[in-house]
Homo-oligomer: A and B are copies of this chain.
Amino acid sequence: VADEAAILERLRSAGGRVTGARRAVVAALLAADDHVTADDLAATVQAADPEIHLSTVYRTLDALERLGVVDHVHLGHGRAVYHLADDPHQHLVCEECGVVIEAPHDLFAEVAERVQATYRFRLRPHHFAVLGRCEDCVRRAAE
């Protein structure tokens, strides 16, 4: 799904309209590395067209999310980041410095099974980042 034309077509065939704003958001999303906030995307699209409003970015992301094209993950207090849905992965976020480490999506497969068996609860750890401390911050705190 990592192709602008295909994504736009998908919007269209779901009864949606393909507008300049949506084109710009999709392009920005494909160009960006992972972990972009709605604000980041707005800044990118506004560099070309300052008329495009932040709320339009949110609404476009919302539409793309309903189509299964993107996912969003909450990294901690407040800020959420968006990424293409075709590459599921985990996010480890340092509570101290905010650095984001990507890990394979099956990192929690083992615990997930255990939790399923014990608590009859299906873990879906990808929608919220897993918090902790990176090595640097652990070391800094130890001094």
A103 contact from B76, B115, B135, Cβ within 8 A: B115
A112 to chain B, nearest CB (A): 8
**Closest residue on chain B to residue A102 by CB atoms:** B119
Determine whether the beta carbon of B125 is less than 8 Å from that of A132.
yes
| A interface majority secondary structure | mixed
**Closest residue on chain B to residue A127 by CB atoms:** B131
Neighbouring B residues of A74 by C-beta, 8 Å: 77
Interface residues on A, range: 20 to 34
Determine whether the beta carbon of A101 is less than 8 Å from that of B127.
no
**Closest residue on chain B to residue A138 by CB atoms:** B122
With A95-B127, A128-B76 known to touch, is A122 a contact of B111 (CB < 8 Å)?
A: no
Asked whether A89 is an interface residue with its Cβ less than 8 Å from the other chain, the reply is: no
Q: List 12 A-B contacts (CB under 8 A).
A: A92-B115, A92-B121, A94-B121, A107-B111, A110-B110, A111-B111, A121-B133, A121-B134, A123-B132, A124-B132, A125-B130, A128-B128
